[in-house]
Amino acid sequence: MPYVRTRLGRWFYEERGAAKRPGDPAIVLWHSLLFDGGMWKPQVEPLAALGRVVVFDGPGHGKSEVPPPFSLEDNTDAIPDAFAELGIDRAVFAGLSWGGMLGMRLALKHPSRVRALALLDTSAEAEDRARMVKYRLFVSFGRRFGFPKGLAESQLAPIYFSESTRARDPQLVERFIRTANGSPRNGMARAALAVVVQRRSVLPRLGSIRAPTLVICGREDRATEPVHSERIAAAIPGARLVLIEKAGHISTLEQPAAVNDALVPFVAAQLGS
């Protein structure tokens, strides 16, 4: 299986497509907590028609190794490690939730590595304190016991998916539960602590980002409500905001066609410029 070595352990990745011209940036996709690179399945082939696509499993998720304890900043600094092994100089970086948080930090700390940003269903702010307490309990429980079906359906699925999605596509919820329980518990717990509990705000710094930016959010997102995307789009010069109807937090799977309608032309424009 393909892996890259980073300071946070080995990361599994999948690759599709190829650069159309020398010097074209890669298209890098990073998923949400409790998911893996499969979250991008509806987007991979349309994007691979444009260029080289690299999809990572984040540390402690999917087929990637369990990392040592880490922060979002540590995670950000590990991304250039992976880029170096894969020969990626610059990327159009698309991230959902956790991935979007990394994308913003990568553009702030390593701006030369970012050609453009697509930030989906994410936040630039610290987690709400009351919600942080609740999520810390989820992390502690999940580390010991995993996510039993009843708990996942009653507590996690409403955070991740809109009500209409849960009614229309219960199999999507079932696949989510299998994915969440398929990764190492300790790895997912360490990632969740970094991404949710210990996350610090970067919102006041976003004005220094110069990479072209597309912000996408499900209108029914309950994990990172649209107001967070509105603040990101207002803070990054020239950023464009697209709200996806009838989608919650996992818009790439809930409304893939609508996401692709916004994401694919944006990426094409960055590769063509």
pLDDT one-digit tens code per residue, 17-70: 999 999 999 999 999 999 999 999 999 999 999 999 999 999 999 999 999 999
Q: Is the pTM above the cut of 0.75?
A: yes
* Residue 19 to residue 225: CA distance in whole angstroms: 35
Task: State residue 13's pLDDT score.
Answer: 98
Percent of the chain with pLDDT over 70: 100
Angle at 43 (CA atoms; ends 250, 85), nearest 5 degrees: 100
In a domain, 161, yes or no: no
What letter would DSSP give residue 135?
A: H
In a domain, 166, yes or no: no
In a domain, 48, yes or no: yes
In a domain, 135, yes or no: no
In a domain, 170, yes or no: no
Q: How far is CA 272 from CA 71, 77, 92, 129, 238, in A?
A: 35, 28, 12, 43, 18
Over residues 124-155, the pLDDT tens digits come to: 999 987 777 777 777 787 788 788 888 888 88
Burial of 69 (C-beta count, 10 Å sphere; 0-12/13-18/19+): exposed
Any idea what the CATH number is for the domain that residue 37 is in? 3.40.50.1820
Taking all residues of the chain, what is their mean pLDDT, rounded to a whole number?
94
In a domain, 164, yes or no: no
Q: Residue 117: beta bridge partners?
A: 93, 213
What letter would DSSP give residue 127?
A: P
Task: State residue 110's pLDDT score.
Answer: 98
**Across 10-14, 74-78, 193-197, least confident range:** 193-197
Assign 144 to helix, strand or coil: helix
In a domain, 144, yes or no: no
Show the domain range for 220.
Answer: 3-129+186-272
In a domain, 156, yes or no: no
* Residue 73 to residue 202: CA distance in whole angstroms: 11
Could you give the number of structural domains in the chain? 1
Quote helix, strand, coil % in the chain, to nearest 5: 50, 15, 30
Over residues 163-199, the pLDDT tens digits come to: 999 999 999 999 998 998 888 889 989 999 999 999 9
Mean pLDDT of 79-102: 98
* Residue 149 to residue 266: CA distance in whole angstroms: 38
